Structure 1
Amino acid sequence: MRARLVAGVGVLLLAGGCGSRQAQVLPAAPPAVKVARCVMSFPDVRGARLARARLADDIARYLARRPGRIVYAVHDLVSGVTLGYGRHRDELITASGAKVDIVMALLARRAGRLDEDERDLAERMIRESDNRAADVMWARIGGSGAMSAFYRRIGLRRTTPGRGIYWGGTTSSPSDRIRLLKVLVKGGGGLSAADRDLVLGLMGRVQEDQAWGVSAAARRGDRVALKNGWTPRPFVHGTWAVSSYGRIAGPGRDLLLSVQTDLQPGDGAGIETVEGVARMIGTRWDGLTPTTRRPCPTNPLP
């Protein structure tokens, strides 16, 4: 009986021990954490220098195959990049390009207070390139003497107004055309914001037959404001002068561009050259400011 009792107690102890022992539970593995790689972007100075040199060389090769004299300048208000050839050559005539100058000069003199007739003349001069309207406004502003004073006022040192009644004989350089556009965009010369908006607005709404030229640099959706000039030169071997300048603005860029030509065999050849230069610039401009990527410092300074 005693042996049976001891055996029973052993069985109970063994059973109790088994029942009280809990299964081991391993801790759950933590979820995988994705660590973002820290990368910093820096301007690629060497790459930018090479890209700009290549573009300038390619434009030079293109111009070497084109007739006449061709000069150009481009400045980006966003990146600050400037390119050009013959930027300070100031003997090329602007022809109808001077019509913007005349309107700006009259606005500066009148503190923006143009009457209804003058506003109509300004619209016809810029949007339609109406020569008769320009004749009236040239006389109203005071001709070449008044224009010389205006050019000095806005810092155009390489622009000379046409003599007498010939406003179309005004000569200018690409660098001065860029300076003129900067005044329209950023201010100066006594022009109010409303004055500048008026002129740029007219340049942005030229008639379709006036919209050629530096507009070839525009991407889809870019805003374009321009003025073109073209004229036969019967006393210069029957050649033509053709020019175009304006603003082409859109995401990541705000280009001020001027392309001027003379000694062209015809207006068509001049237009083709102007648009060829503008197209090369517009297509390749974004590649002129490359960046390089590097890992962030592992021990940044506090």
Structure 2
Amino acid sequence: MKRMAWIGLALVTGCGAERAPVVPAVVKPPVKVARCVLKFPDRRAGAAARARLERDLARYAADRPGRIVYGALDLASGIRLGHGEHDHELITASGAKVDIVAALLQRRTGRLDEEELDLATRMIKESDNRAADALWSRVGGSGAMSAFYRKAGLRETTPGPGIYWGGTKSSPADRIRLLKVLVKGVKGVKGLSAADRRLVLGLMGQVMREQAWGVSAAARRGDRVALKNGWTPRPFIHNTWAVTSYGRILGPGRDLLLSVQTDQQPGHGAGVQTIERLARMIGTRLDDLSPTIERPCPTNPIP
């Protein structure tokens, strides 16, 4: 019996000597504290970048044939650029087709009927001239277009004479003004509703691929483009061409309205090349014109 007791005691003692399992402590990850940074505009660097861009644009345009004028406005930053932007002696050719549908919508004070919508779609997306002829007549011709331009504040745009809508003359500044009307509306112009403006910009954003050249060269990857181009031979002006492009380039931190107009070009291709080179220079260097300086937030702010 004594031997059994000792064995039992040994077993009890052995169990009591066993250590309790250790539970690991929960280690919390370190808390990340965001660094406080203040940003200020670097006006000196922006002015220097602007001077370099304007110099390079001028040098390129000076080496190209014919007349070249352009205007740019970034609604996001307020930056403006331009050369000859108030020159209103250059014809828009098919660029006037946007004017026609905008004026018709304003006069209708409501939606276009099915036939008119089809004509407007073909006129903008495909640059259909017969559709433009039909809507130019429905809107009321040059007289009605003059009234629309006055209401919209387009003081540097003159409608083509008679039935010749392609002879409409305008300036880059007025092309940008028209784009602003489509983007933001304008006081005093009743009938051109937000839905109407979205319709026009939507059609400009669906221009067929082979006609989507021009100011679209200013777009970054992922930007949305709405544009209208114009091109026509000028047989009575030394067999040259007029080539124009204007539109909106919209993307993160950018809402760029851009118009480039050329005249007396040796051919359609030469005008396109000039427009796209100028547009690309502006698009790729626009952000350089509004640089910022970073400074840490004060550690002991004044109460």
SS of 2:227's equivalent in the other structure is: strand
Question: SS of the counterpart of 2:241?
Answer: strand
1:288, distance to aligned residue in structure 2 (A): 1.3
Q: 1:152 corresponds to which residue?
A: 150
Corresponding residue number in structure 2 for 1:76:
74
The answer to whether 1:102 aligns with 2:100 is yes
Contact kept? 2:111, 2:196, Cα under 8 Å: no
Q: CA deviation at 1:113?
A: 2.4
User: Which residue of the partner structure matches residue 162 of structure 1?
Assistant: 160
Which position in structure 1 is the counterpart of 2:63? Answer: 65
Q: Return the alpha-carbon distance in structure 1 between the equivalents of residues 274 and 114 of structure 2.
A: 38
Equivalent residues of 2:182, 2:197 under 8 A apart: yes
Cα distance between partner residues in 2 of 1:34 and 1:232: 64
Letter in 2 for 1:294: R
| Counterparts in 2 of 1:272 and 1:34: CA distance versus 1, 3 Å | closer
Following superposition, the deviation at residue 237 of structure 1 comes to: 0.6
1:224 maps to 225
Distance 1:84 1:116 in 2: 40
Amino acid at match of 1:258: S
| Corresponding residue number in structure 2 for 1:262 | 263
Aligned residue number for residue 48 of structure 1: 46
> What are the residue-to-residue correspondences of 1:176-187 with 2, within 5 Å?
176-187=174-185
Q: Which residue of 1 aligns with 2:110?
A: 112
| Aligned-partner SS, 2:236 | coil
Structure 2, unpaired ranges of 5+: 1-29
Matching residue's letter, 2:284: T
Secondary structure in 2 aligned to 1:114? Answer: coil
Residue 235 of structure 1: SS of its match in structure 2? coil
Any gaps of 5 or more consecutive residues in structure 1?
1-31
Partner of 2:124: 126
**Per-residue Cα deviation, 1:149-172 (whole angstroms, up to 9, x for no partner):** 000001000000000110000000
Equivalence for 1:27: none
Q: 1:140 aligns with which of 129, 138, 141?
A: 138
Q: Which residue of 1 aligns with 2:276?
A: 275
User: How much does 1:286 deviate?
Assistant: 1.5
Distance 1:247 1:127 in 2: 15
TM-score, structure 2 normalization:
0.87
The 2-side partners of 1:40 and 1:167 are apart by: 53
Deviation, 1:300, is 2.1
How much does 1:39 deviate?
Answer: 3.2
Residue equivalent to 2:194: 193
Structure 1 CA distance, aligned partners of 2:208 and 2:37?
48
Q: How does 1:226-245 map to 2 (within 5 A)?
A: 226-245=227-246
Take 2:279 and 2:36, find their aligned partners in 1: how far apart are those partners?
39
Task: Using structure 1 for the length normalisation, give the TM-score.
Answer: 0.87
**1:207 alignment partner in structure 2:** 208
Of stretches 181-190 and 127-136 in structure 1, the one that deviates more from structure 2 is 181-190
Contact between 2:213 and 2:276, CA under 8 Å: does it hold in 1?
yes
The residue type equivalent to 1:262 in the other structure is: D
RMSD in angstroms over aligned alpha carbons? 1.5
User: Is contact 2:241–2:266 with CA below 8 Å preserved after alignment?
Assistant: yes
1:223-267 residue CA offsets vs partner (Å, 9 max, x unmatched): 000000000000111100000000000011010000000000000
1:35 Cα shift? Answer: 7.7
Give, in angstroms, the shift of residue 40 of structure 1. 1.7
